[in-house]
């Protein structure tokens, strides 16, 4: 019997998927009690709601953390804290969203609320905010814009989280943002805005026909990107969306989005991209992707690029000082 040479994990992943796959480097561990120094929320905690815990922080500008015990919290939150704040959800496996036990939910459309931001279940305007293993949903459903999360600050990090809605689920509005090992689901323009955002190792799941991204970059001097890297782009299980979903459309005229090193499922329309803003000249890129929806021969509005972009390009040269690279 002939022995085969040992393959590295990365090489094996490339053989199996047809593309390089970024593997988790963290030790996946449970988080079932509050980390040292954290306020606690829930049936076993000091505070009954997350809002109460936020109020207890008052006007402090020091670093703080809040741990949330398992449960569904029907709240609408604005994260506007003077220091750097981390929000942890209870979980038996902190390395994935799949074992999350904490959900923050609210149901209102932007029309009823008065704006996109006011419809959000969680609206983050605090620089340096981090969230781990928490589900955020807007339960409004089909028929109107209804935001689950607004990210409107610098150096935001979301790890092992779920964001669920229908139209306009995740408003990555402004600033620098990092999403790792998250689930993002919706049907139309469900990742939108003008942040410079990196989505790494995420499951991006369409629950209806439409466009995944609607980037709103509109000035050539704007450094913002949406970079979707090592992600799985797929339809919700049981739905036949073959050819009914677009990678994106330009909410504003100079939208800039790249899909790289990702698996694009059969839901992706062969044209890839579609229109929205009048007179748009978007920068829509694809490189080193695989899957049934990755054939670019019939693409429209696609721009050429010679190499995948890096975190430095998207998040700036100091990104390593604020993202959690163990995810």
Q: Which residues pair with residue 152 across a beta bridge? A: 174
> Which positions ≥6 away from 291 have C-beta within 8 Å?
233, 262, 263, 264, 265, 266
Task: Give residue 138's region: left, alpha or beta (phi > 0; psi -120 to 50).
Answer: beta
Give 280 or 11, the one with higher predicted confidence. Answer: 280
- Asked if residue 22 lies in contact with residue 200, where contact means CB atoms within 8 angstroms, the answer is yes
**Residue that the structure tokens 């409107």 belong to:** 152
Q: Which residues pair with residue 177 across a beta bridge? A: 156, 197
**Predicted pLDDT at 5:** 36
Task: Indicate the helix (H) or strand (E) that contains 116.
Answer: helix 116-119
In the predicted structure, residue 21 carries a pLDDT above the cut 70: no
| pLDDT-based confidence at residue 27 (cuts at 50, 70, 90) | low
Domain spans of the chain, in order of start:
32-321
In the predicted structure, residue 22 carries a pLDDT above the cut 80: no
User: Which one of 168, 188, 229, 263 is the catalytic residue?
Assistant: 168
Nearest to 22 by CA among 291, 236, 232: 232
pLDDT (tens digit per residue) in 109-158: 999 999 999 999 999 999 999 999 999 999 999 999 999 999 999 999 99
In the predicted structure, residue 17 carries a pLDDT above the cut 60: no
Q: Distance between CA 282 and CA 250 in Å, rounded?
A: 6
pLDDT (tens digit per residue) in 184-230: 999 999 999 999 999 999 999 999 999 999 999 999 999 999 999 99
Q: Distance between CA 119 and CA 177 in Å, rounded?
A: 20
Q: Which fold has domain 32-321?
A: Pectate Lyase C-like (2.160.20)
Task: Indicate the helix (H) or strand (E) that contains 78.
Answer: strand 77-79
Record the pTM: 0.92
Nearest to 273 by CA among 241, 250, 304: 250
Q: In the annotation, is 278 catalytic?
A: no
Q: Distance between CA 70 and CA 90 in Å, rounded?
A: 6
Q: Distance between CA 324 and CA 200 in Å, rounded?
A: 12
Q: In the annotation, is 189 catalytic?
A: yes
**Predicted pLDDT at 60:** 85
Mean pLDDT of the chain: 93
In the predicted structure, residue 318 carries a pLDDT above the cut 70: yes
Average pLDDT for 161-186: 98
Task: Indicate the helix (H) or strand (E) that contains 214.
Answer: strand 210-215
Nearest to 268 by CA among 209, 207, 203, 309: 209
In the predicted structure, residue 253 carries a pLDDT above the cut 60: yes
Q: Give the dihedral of Cα atoms 226, 24, 100, 16; nearest 10 deg.
A: 80
User: Which one of 189, 194, 229, 263 is the catalytic residue?
Assistant: 189
**Predicted pLDDT at 326:** 87
**Predicted pLDDT at 26:** 54
From the number of C-beta atoms within 10 Å of its C-beta (0-12, 13-18, 19+), residue 3 rates as exposed
**Predicted pLDDT at 12:** 38
**Residue that the structure tokens 């998207």 belong to:** 314
Q: Token digits for 167?
A: 């139209």
pLDDT (tens digit per residue) in 33-92: 999 999 999 999 999 999 999 999 988 889 999 999 999 999 999 999 999 999 999 999
Q: What is the DSSP letter of 145?
A: B
């Amino acid at each position: 019997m002939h022995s085969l040479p040992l393959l590295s994990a990365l090489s094996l992943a490339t053989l199996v998927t047809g593309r390089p796959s970024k593997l988790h480097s963290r030790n996946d561990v449970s988080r079932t009690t509050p980390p040292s120094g954290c306020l606690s929320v829930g049936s076993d905690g000091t505070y009954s709601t997350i809002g109460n815990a936020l109020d207890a922080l008052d006007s402090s500008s020091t670093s703080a953390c809040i741990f949330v015990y398992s449960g569904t919290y029907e709240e609408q939150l604005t994260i506007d804290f003077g220091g750097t704040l981390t929000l942890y959800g209870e979980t038996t496996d902190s390395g994935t969203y799949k074992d999350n036990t904490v959900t923050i939910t609210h149901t209102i459309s932007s029309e009823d609320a008065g704006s996109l931001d006011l419809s959000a279940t969680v609206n983050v305007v605090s620089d340096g905010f981090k969230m781990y293993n928490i589900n955020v949903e807007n339960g409004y459903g089909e028929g109107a814009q209804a935001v689950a999360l607004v990210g409107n600050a610098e150096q935001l990090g979301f790890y092992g989280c779920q964001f669920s809605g229908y139209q306009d689920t995740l408003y990555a509005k402004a600033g620098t943002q990092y999403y790792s090992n998250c689930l993002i689901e919706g049907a139309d323009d469900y990742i939108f805005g003008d942040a410079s955002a990196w989505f790494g190792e995420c499951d991006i799941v369409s629950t209806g026909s439409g466009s995944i991204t609607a980037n709103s970059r509109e000035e050539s001097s704007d450094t913002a990107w949406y970079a979707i890297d090592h992600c799985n782009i797929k339809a919700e299980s049981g739905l036949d969306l073959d050819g009914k979903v677009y990678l994106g459309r330009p909410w504003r005229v100079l939208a800039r989005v790249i899909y790289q090193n990702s698996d694009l499922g059969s839901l992706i329309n062969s044209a890839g991209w579609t229109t929205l803003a009048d007179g748009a000249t978007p920068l829509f890129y694809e490189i080193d992707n695989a899957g049934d929806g990755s054939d670019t021969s019939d693409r429209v509005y696609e721009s050429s690029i010679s190499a995948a972009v890096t975190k430095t390009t998207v998040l700036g040269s100091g990104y390593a000082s604020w993202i959690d690279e163990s995810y």
